[in-house]
Amino acid sequence: MKIAIVVDKSRADYLPKDEGRQEDGQSYRTMEMIKEALSDEYDVTHMTMDFDIVKRLKKEKVDLVFNLCNGIRGEGRLLQLPAILEGAGIPYTGSDPLGHGLAYNKIISGKLFKASGIPTPDFICIEKLAQVDEIELNYPVIVKPKDEGSSRGIHDDCLILDKKSLKEKIGRLLKYYNPPIMVMEYIDGREFTVALLEDGKDLMVFPILEIDLTGLPDGFNKIYSFEAKFQYADYVKYHLPARLEDGERKRIEEAAMKAFRTLGLRDYARVDIRLEGGIPYVIEVNSLPGLDREVSDICKMADYIGMEYDQLIKTIVKQAINRSKLLATA
């Protein structure tokens, strides 16, 4: 069987400089890691996403695509490659276009969570900067793009304490990210992330990872920002498994599984949660979480339970094979 790992073209021209460089580097590293993990069982190649991708996949007689594409631009960019592959009848890993679209748009997913009884922060949407003058909010709030992930667009100054700062921050975000911008209730609680992996008919919940931000330098807000994740990582502590009572752990796991199923996701995902007053608030769901063996949260959680990186990647591939009824010997 031939598998093509498909990655994005560089997004450096579309994101703030540090974010673009980080994403490009991690995408290439992950592609190489996955290629190494699969090469003992499959014929593996890699390609860069463009409008000729179907033609090239068919020319190379690719049986399955391992999707690593976030897309380049546009509100539906995360679902672009899956939609193209669906139309061409080429099997691929991960969620389908609808699942990615629902998860990627945090406004839509937030409304779905509320309708499904899943605790999630209240939020409003800002289309234009002038709207800020017309609203009254209870501060602090979190300001972030509606359609990014992995802390892109979420910086230390996204925790907002007053209207002047709100207007300045939304103005900066509108230069790089699709409107509307989300203004979200700040949940002042402990932060957790939950990885989920489908294995056959079972939905596995990995041990919960607690992200301890109390060690960040003075002056930094206690949010899992781009700076905290990539520039001050040594100050962030990770507790695996998370320091939770049994009841708290069960509520977090149930909220994560319900969010996964509400959005109709498949294969694997990661759910970010804040716990306040015993309530697990689903902050957002990443339907295409990073798979960098060295730094990605889902890989840390898999390693904790003794699941080697190769096994994690092959489980994702086998889910896609079984779903598409491909033969492993094809």
- In sequence order, the β-bridge partners of residue 202 are 199
Statement: 102-119+188-317 belongs to CATH 3.30.300.30: no
Residue 324, pLDDT above cutoff 50: yes
CA–CA dist 151, 137 (Å, integer): 24
pLDDT band, very low/low/confident/very high, at 221 (cuts 50, 70, 90): confident
**Rounded CA Rg of the chain:** 20
- What is the CATH code for 123-185? 3.30.1490.20
Averaged confidence pLDDT in the chain: 90
Record the pTM.
0.90
**Res 327 pLDDT > 50:** no
| pLDDT 10s digits, 1-52 | 999 999 988 765 656 556 555 666 678 899 999 999 999 999 999 999 998 9
pLDDT in tens, 168-220: 999 888 887 878 999 999 999 999 999 999 999 999 999 999 999 998 888 88
- Contact assessment for residue 124 and residue 168, using Cβ atoms and an 8 Å cutoff: no
Mean pLDDT of 249-257: 98
Fold entry, domain 2-92: Rossmann fold (3.40.50)
Q: Where are the alpha helices (DSSP H) in the chain?
A: 17-38, 53-59, 80-88, 97-104, 106-115, 163-176, 226, 246-262, 297-304, 309-324
Does the pLDDT value for residue 240 go beyond 80? Answer: yes
How much of the chain, in percent, has pLDDT values that exceed 90?
Answer: 68
Q: How far apart are the C-alpha atoms of 225 and 143, rounded to whole Å?
A: 11
Mean pLDDT computed over 297-304: 96
pLDDT digits (tens, 9 = 90+) for 119-153: 999 999 998 888 888 888 889 999 988 876 655 66
pLDDT of res. 14:
58
Separation of alpha carbons 227 and 190, rounded Å: 18
Instruction: Find, among 159, 171, 281, the residue nearest to 216 by Cα.
Output: 159
| pLDDT 10s digits, 46-56 | 999 998 999 99
Do 102-119+188-317 and 123-185 fold alike per CATH? no
Q: Domain-by-domain residue ranges, the chain?
A: 2-92, 102-119+188-317, 123-185
Asked if residues 283 and 238 have their Cβ atoms less than 8 Å apart, the reply is no
At residue 101, φ and ψ (nearest 5 deg) are -65, -40
